[in-house]
């Protein structure tokens, strides 16, 4: 694969992943009613946890968008994936079963996995990480 193709795919998936994570962070940062219903009422987490997850997703998304920052970016990807896996696990634990609606979470996982994959390919290709 050409370096320009790798770079283009990296940026497409990274911007998409960051946009999805920032979108999901917005309600948590504001602690709006939807985030309270989901995180506090449905999943059972304390209300003070809501803005923490929102800011963590926002900062992680910003970190993966900044060129360079190899170690910080690695941590940011890990944190964003822990957030996604934790959300799926918490939903399964609360509902006691896998709900088909959880397949919608693939919308978040797929661009994240592809972003990380092409970031690693960029590094192997000698492009600026």
Count how many domains the chain has: 1
Task: Please answer whether residues 100 and 2 qualify as being in contact, where contact means their C-beta atoms are separated by less than 8 angstroms.
Answer: no
In a domain, 50, yes or no: yes
* pTM of the entire predicted model: 0.90
18-59, pLDDT tens digit by residue?
999 999 999 999 999 989 998 999 889 999 999 999 999 999
What is the residue range of 95's domain?
3-124
Residue 88 makes CB contacts below 8 A (sequence gap 6+) with 102, 105
Distance between CA atoms of 45 and 64, rounded to whole angstroms? 27
64-97, pLDDT tens digit by residue?
999 989 999 999 999 999 999 998 888 888 887 7
In a domain, 103, yes or no: yes
Q: Which two tokens stand for residue 89?
A: 């696990």
């Amino acid at each position: 694969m050409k370096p320009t193709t790798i770079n283009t795919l990296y940026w497409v998936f990274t911007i998409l992943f960051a946009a999805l994570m920032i979108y999901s962070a917005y309600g948590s940062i504001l602690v709006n009613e939807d985030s309270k219903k989901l995180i506090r009422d449905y999943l059972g987490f304390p209300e003070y946890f809501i803005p923490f997850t929102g800011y963590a997703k926002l900062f992680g998304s910003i970190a993966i968008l900044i060129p360079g920052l190899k170690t910080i970016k690695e941590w940011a990807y890990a944190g964003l994936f822990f957030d996604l896996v934790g959300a799926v696990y918490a939903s399964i634990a609360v509902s006691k079963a896998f709900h088909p609606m959880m397949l919608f979470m693939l919308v978040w996982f797929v661009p994240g996995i592809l972003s990380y994959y092409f970031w690693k390919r960029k590094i192997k290709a000698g492009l600026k990480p």
